[in-house]
Amino acid sequence: MSVFIVKLFKGKIPKISFQKAKEKILGKKYELEIIFAAPKLMKNLNKAYRGKSGSTNVLSFSLNKEMGELFLDLNEIKKEAIEAGIEYGAYFLRIFIHGLLHLKGFDHGRRMVLKEKNFFKLFESDAKKYNSRDRHRI
């Protein structure tokens, strides 16, 4: 199936292989919609679905076994990457993988962290390519 990208704000989307990562983690039949949302929308969704105030970097919504949505706030991801001293492309990739694993059914914990690390190693070259090309154009 496909990956659909919806951009609801102005900003630069990292050039990583969304389709390849989706297929490896969720399978080829899984249909994924990736929504790059403005901070205000992310705050509203975070409050409505998690009962938490403030923004968040990613929200995952599983619609059924073969379909889901990821909402990503690139402003929040960029801010967190800077605070952590991590390259933006690498941090974005980690957050994207994190969201996919939630769609796969993982909850926060040791198993999820291990899976994140393993999948990050598979796609790390995508993040490195992005960082070397676009480091100053986030």
Binding residues for Zn(2+): 98, 102, 108
- Output the known binding site: 98, 102, 108
Which residues make Cβ contacts (< 8 Å) with residue 108, sequence separation at least 6?
none
> What's the one-letter identity of residue 78?
K
Residue 21 DSSP SS3: helix
What's 69's DSSP letter?
E
The identity of residue 113, as a single letter, is V
The rounded distance, in Å, linking the Cα atoms of 56 and 54 is 7
Q: Which amino acid, residue 95?
A: I
- Partners of 7 in beta bridges: 36
